[in-house]
Structure 1
Amino acid sequence: MPAGTVSPIDPCLDQLTRWSGVVADDTQMPDLLTALEAVPDPRARRGRRYRLPSLIAVALCAVSAGARSFYAIADWAAGVPRQVLQRCGIRFRVPSEATIRQVFGRVDGDALDRVLGRHLAARTGADTVRLAVAVDGKTIRGARIGKQAAPHLVAAVTHGDTVVLGQCRTADKSNEIPTVRKLLRGIDIAGAVVTIDAMHTQKATARCLREQCRAEYVMIVKANQLGLLDRVRHQPWEQVPVVWSDPIERGHGREESRSYKIVTVSRGLRFPYARQAIQITRRRRPIGSEIWSVEVVYAICSLPCEQAPPKLLASWIRGHWHIENKIHYVRDVTFDEDRSTIRTGHGPQVMATIRNVVISLHRRAGQSNIARACRRLAANPDHAVDLVLNA
């Protein structure tokens, strides 16, 4: 090469792509790609053209730009500049839709969830208040095959920044209850408070949280636990003053307010580690109407009042629904998950995991409108790679 001529290969780009060869240098690999090496590769060693972390990184980048299917991921990979794929570790051929579909259909979905959940959790900034985690399940309706039940996934999501810490698939002939305990044992939530809906107000789940996970709980109490509900209802609520009231909120065509009464309990509830019982009175009315509807809901908490004051308890109870509003709703509306035709093998769970991670990354980047964030990244693939590889 003549003196003074600049090589057309960017040295920084060359460093990012060297690891995709036969021998990988972990010191040059982005943190996400390094973490993804822990996901078991279901393929035989002979004949592999693409490293599994590279395929997952490409899928994350494509979905962060709005891709909803394996075809859309392959189209994104075929349409972006070569250097974008090189940053993900794809150095030669562009992966096809068939390759992506076959590999993702065989990847262990639970293992992928664990690896990505731990990676995101390790980069979640420490907060001055106790970490709150919501647990809830969602059925992938479009993945139903014939008379088989559709895959049902249970996820754990932080309240504040809505980062998905983990997700687990419910066994076909089981339900959410044992799956939640399996999920909680697999993630690090020591010291956190976990909010759970009434289905999971179970003694075994309470013991699992306190004894195995070293976490606290806030559980809703309803008629599936009649004995517990009766004991909570018969607390002297008439003598207890309202200790906190949420401001009236307007939205979805209605006004809503909540007030809270709290009593300290111990052995009277006969439920493991219960320290407080809460009565929540919800008042709602359509905007313009003068008639309020009233609903009374009960909850229990394992923390004493000194560590869970009324305002904080109220924020945990309301914050539980972030998992529905900011994760499940976005997967259904922005990524059209319920109409997805991905049905084979572990494909539905893997795509749900990728959507969870992408939503978490967008939220952590300060984006509140995920659809708009995806459109912006679709116009600049390098920004999509920055979002994913800098996670």
Structure 2
Amino acid sequence: MPAGTVSPIDPCLDQLTRFVGGVVDEKQVPRLMTALEVVPDPRDRRGRRYSLPSLIAIALCAVAAGARSYSSIADWAVAAPREVLVRLGIRFRVPSEATIRQVLGRVEGDGLDLVLGRYLSDAGDNDSGGERVAVAVDGKTVRGARAGEESAPHLVSAVTHTGGVVLGQCRTADKSNEISAVRRLLRGIDLVGAVVTVDAMHTQKATARCLRERCRAEYVMVVKANQPGLLARIRELPWEQVPVVWSDPLERGHGREEARIYKIVTVTRGLRFPYAQQVIEITRRRRRIGADRWSIEVVYAICSLPCEQAPPKLLARWIRGHWSIENRVHWVRDVTFDEDRSTVRAGHGPQVMATLRNTAISLHRRAGQSNIAQACRRVAVNPHRAVDLVLRS
């Protein structure tokens, strides 16, 4: 461009400079865009009008504002001010609904999950208070995405207990179950030094070895009847002689009362499960508020950490915190984003939309928001807030 010639986007950049306080933050703005550059672009090189990172960033901003479909993502882009679109890499025509639908439906789901999970984990979980980061792993079926005779996609996610940040997600292979998908997910996440909690389905020797040897992480696993030999050996321990080492305070909620007491045995030999060092007996007492009778349930768990590194109070917090993945992510996707009634079914679209929802939830939580529905409404009224949330988190 000849000296003195003014670029056609200079006025827009000038407006952007004034908006962000006089200086365009060159380090912070491209962080997400740089991360998204490694996502394989499914389109032919010829005829690409928009970069893939820009389209994904627009979709993230729209979902963070409560968008639930391709058309609502396109509507958000049409309504966004020019300077907002420039920050997202859109300098000319606004992408149409057809473009957004075709691109998001073809992007490889697991690859996008991996990139966005690493992008979120780079910031770290600042809510751990110096303790080990606890990560819950569980699966969820996207029921609304069932198409014809095909089964609905089932996605497995890893979520931090305290921050509610989704570190990764992958799709379970058709005609398979979560077990192999969980190990594939764990191998793709940086879990060094973390403790991973799983439900009884994933209490598998191969998973324990994967966590300890491949991921260099620890585990807390629930033991139930799907591991009959291990459960029998645990029940044979002299629990009558073991004192109660911790009791959770009585809790009230959802019309019931619940109390838990914990007994712990240190394992030396005989359990025959890789790296297990502690066995925990949890006795749950529940009753409906106002009722006289208590129901009693006994559950067992194993932990790979010794008692010096995992005292009773911390173990109890990890065991209870495992269900944060249901309360803080799966429930929000179902209720706030109405995921189970989503009409996105073609290609990789269901998984990609679930990934965008996970990332939006995580970004809101990193920004200090606990009520995600309220956070979406607040972002929806001002597109600048959406782009700030996505590009500055």
Length-normalised TM-score, structure 2: 0.93
Displacement of 1:28 after TM fit? 8.3
**Residue 46 of structure 2 corresponds to which residue in structure 1?**
46
Displacement of 1:11 after TM fit? 2.8
What code does the residue aligned with 1:11 have?
Answer: D
Find out whether 1:377 has 2:384 as its counterpart: no
Q: Quick one: structure 1 residues 309 and 51, their matched pair in 2 at CA, closer, same or farther if it must change by over 3 Å? A: same
Distance 1:248 1:14 in 2: 55
Q: Quick one: structure 1 residues 370 and 27, their matched pair in 2 at CA, closer, same or farther if it must change by over 3 Å? A: closer
Displacement of 1:267 after TM fit? 2.3
The 8 Å contact of residues 279 and 301 in structure 2, kept in 1 or not, is answered as yes
Distance 1:331 1:110 in 2: 18
Find out whether 1:284 has 2:281 as its counterpart: no
Displacement of 1:245 after TM fit? 0.5
Distance 2:211 2:270 in 1: 21
Distance 2:158 2:14 in 1: 41
For residue 223 of structure 1, give the secondary structure of its aligned residue in structure 2: coil
Q: Quick one: structure 1 residues 15 and 184, their matched pair in 2 at CA, closer, same or farther if it must change by over 3 Å? A: farther
Find out whether 1:265 has 2:272 as its counterpart: no
Distance 2:179 2:283 in 1: 27
Distance 2:125 2:212 in 1: 24
Q: Deviations over 1:195-237 (max 9, x none)?
A: 0000000011111111111111000000000111111111111
What code does the residue aligned with 2:89 have?
Answer: G
Distance 1:152 1:379 in 2: 33
Distance 2:125 2:159 in 1: 15
Q: Deviations over 1:239-297 (max 9, x none)?
A: 00110011111110111111100001132111111101000011111111121111110
Name structure 2 gaps, 5 residues minimum: 5-9, 20-25
**Residue 14 of structure 2 corresponds to which residue in structure 1?**
11
Q: Name the Cα RMSD after superposition.
A: 1.7
Displacement of 1:162 after TM fit? 0.9
Distance 1:360 1:9 in 2: 30
State, as a whole percentage, how many aligned pairs show the same letter: 75
**Residue 4 of structure 1 corresponds to which residue in structure 2?**
none
What code does the residue aligned with 2:318 have?
Answer: W
Q: Deviations over 1:143-177 (max 9, x none)?
A: 11111111011011111101111101111121100
The 8 Å contact of residues 279 and 303 in structure 2, kept in 1 or not, is answered as yes
Q: Quick one: structure 1 residues 238 and 212, their matched pair in 2 at CA, closer, same or farther if it must change by over 3 Å? A: same
Displacement of 1:15 after TM fit? 11
Q: Quick one: structure 1 residues 28 and 136, their matched pair in 2 at CA, closer, same or farther if it must change by over 3 Å? A: closer
Distance 2:189 2:375 in 1: 29
**Residue 97 of structure 1 corresponds to which residue in structure 2?**
97
Displacement of 1:184 after TM fit? 0.4
Q: How does 1:233-272 map to 2 (within 5 A)?
A: 233-272=235-274
For residue 268 of structure 1, give the secondary structure of its aligned residue in structure 2: coil
Q: How does 1:228-377 map to 2 (within 5 A)?
A: 228-377=230-379
**Residue 190 of structure 2 corresponds to which residue in structure 1?**
188
Q: How does 1:136-155 map to 2 (within 5 A)?
A: 136-155=138-157
Distance 2:359 2:28 in 1: 23
What code does the residue aligned with 1:149 have?
Answer: S
Distance 2:27 2:164 in 1: 30
Displacement of 1:13 after TM fit? 2.5
Displacement of 1:363 after TM fit? 0.8
The 8 Å contact of residues 15 and 28 in structure 1, kept in 2 or not, is answered as no
Q: Quick one: structure 1 residues 243 and 341, their matched pair in 2 at CA, closer, same or farther if it must change by over 3 Å? A: same
Q: Quick one: structure 1 residues 262 and 49, their matched pair in 2 at CA, closer, same or farther if it must change by over 3 Å? A: same
Displacement of 1:10 after TM fit? 4.5
**Residue 113 of structure 2 corresponds to which residue in structure 1?**
113
**Residue 23 of structure 2 corresponds to which residue in structure 1?**
none
Q: Deviations over 1:54-113 (max 9, x none)?
A: 000000100111100111101111112222111111111111111111101111111111
> How many aligned positions are there?
377
Length-normalised TM-score, structure 1: 0.94
- After the TM superposition, list the runs of 4 or more consecutive aligned residues in structure 1 that deviate by more than 6 angstroms: none
For residue 133 of structure 1, give the secondary structure of its aligned residue in structure 2: strand
Displacement of 1:14 after TM fit? 6.8
Displacement of 1:299 after TM fit? 0.4
Quick check: 117-126 or 145-154, which moved more?
117-126
**Residue 19 of structure 1 corresponds to which residue in structure 2?**
none
Displacement of 1:364 after TM fit? 1.1
What code does the residue aligned with 2:206 have?
Answer: A
What code does the residue aligned with 2:153 have?
Answer: P
Distance 2:286 2:180 in 1: 35
Q: Quick one: structure 1 residues 14 and 368, their matched pair in 2 at CA, closer, same or farther if it must change by over 3 Å? A: closer
